């Protein structure tokens, strides 16, 4: 594959030529937000939702003149046309640099090929570990991932796919995914103190065609007593969870509601792409 085109601070460059300066506040201070968009059959499903979330995320940085989403959309369109990927992803980062004593936004956008998760993750389900962690500014998609990276060694040692955050008895979200559980045929998902995922939004819309979805406070006790658990994200769509720490969820296999929703969401996504 030829070199992919990318964008950094007003310039289109080969991806390998992108350089982050020492004056970048994202690098120097962790001052940054981002969005991650899946490219499916040459287009980005739910692009409008992603741009709205990115715009909301950058509001936490309090720029005097925020980046217009029209510019972000223009850059994404040019990269899609230039790189001609079929199934890939687009990552958009907004960081900053100091100018006359105030931070101004810096935009970086790049693409790459999407690497599929193993089929066994969907057929057999995955394992989560848990960590008590009160994520700062959870409603914004920031670049601050200390909560997950400090658990990376344990995830690898225990062959887990992600870490689920909780505070006290309350379930929040995974480091890169939203979480749902099924009890008595009803689907539940945490209501607050979480990132309102784009895929989460569309999973709920899709699920409501056949099931009842309840956004509510979720406790660890209720989660462990669930019949089924699944996660949602841009990269995974819907993925079943069959083990949390050393506890088996349900009968240890992906449940009926999860399997039905996985199939219906794949159709939902295909119809959107078409």
Mean pLDDT in consecutive groups of 10 residues from the start of the chain, 274 residues: 90 96 95 95 92 98 97 97 93 97 97 93 98 96 95 97 98 97 98 96 97 98 97 97 97 97 94 74
Structural tokens at position 182: 């099924």
Residue 271: the pLDDT is 85
Length of the chain: 274
Determine if the pTM surpasses 0.85: yes
- What residue spans in the chain does CATH classification 3.30.470.10 cover? 5-113
Residue 274: the pLDDT is 64
Phi-psi domain of 245 (left: phi exceeds 0; alpha: psi -120 through 50; beta: other): left
Residue among 163, 168, 170, 160 nearest 146 (CA) = 163
CA distance 102 to 96: 9
Residue 154 per-residue DSSP state: H
Q: At what angle do helices 256-273 and 198-207 cross, to 10 degrees?
A: 110
Q: What is the CATH number of domain 5-113?
A: 3.30.470.10
User: For 12-68, where are the alpha helices, taking DSSP H only?
Assistant: 25-29, 47-58
SS3 69: helix
Whether the Cβ atoms of residue 233 and residue 199 lie closer than 8 Å to each other: yes
Instruction: Please count the CA atoms within 13 angstroms of the CA of 64 that sit on its side-chain side.
Output: 8
Structural tokens at position 274: 């078409």
CATH of 119-273 among 3.20.10.10, 3.40.309.10, 3.30.300.30, 3.30.70.1380? 3.20.10.10
- What residue spans in the chain does CATH classification 3.20.10.10 cover? 119-273
Residue 1: the pLDDT is 56
């Amino acid at each position: 594959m030829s070199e992919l085109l990318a964008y950094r601070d007003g310039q289109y460059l080969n991806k390998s030529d992108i350089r982050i300066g020492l004056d970048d506040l994202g690098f120097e201070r962790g001052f940054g937000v981002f969005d991650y968009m899946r490219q499916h059959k040459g287009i980005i499903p739910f692009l409008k939702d992603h741009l709205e979330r990115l715009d909301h995320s950058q509001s936490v940085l309090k720029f005097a003149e925020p980046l217009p989403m029209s510019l972000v959309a223009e850059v994404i369109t040019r990269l899609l046309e230039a790189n001609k990927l079929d199934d890939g992803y687009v990552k958009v980062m907004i960081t900053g640099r100091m100018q006359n004593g105030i931070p101004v936004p810096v935009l970086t956008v790049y693409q790459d090929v999407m690497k599929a998760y193993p089929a066994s993750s969907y057929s057999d389900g995955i394992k989560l570990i848990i960590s008590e962690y009160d994520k700062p500014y959870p409603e914004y998609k920031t670049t601050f991932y200390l909560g997950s990276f400090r658990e990376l060694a344990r995830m690898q040692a225990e062959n887990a796919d992600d870490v689920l955050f909780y505070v006290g008895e309350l379930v929040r979200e995974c480091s890169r995914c939203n979480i749902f559980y099924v009890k008595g045929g009803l689907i539940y998902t945490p209501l607050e103190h979480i990132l309102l995922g784009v895929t989460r939004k569309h999973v709920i819309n899709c699920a409501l065609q056949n099931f009842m979805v309840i956004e509510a406070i979720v406790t660890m006790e209720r989660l462990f007593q669930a019949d089924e658990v699944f996660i949602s994200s841009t990269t995974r769509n819907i993925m079943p969870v069959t083990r949390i720490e050393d506890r088996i969820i349900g009968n240890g296999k992906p449940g009926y509601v999860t399997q039905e929703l996985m199939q219906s969401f794949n159709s939902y996504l295909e119809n959107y792409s078409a």
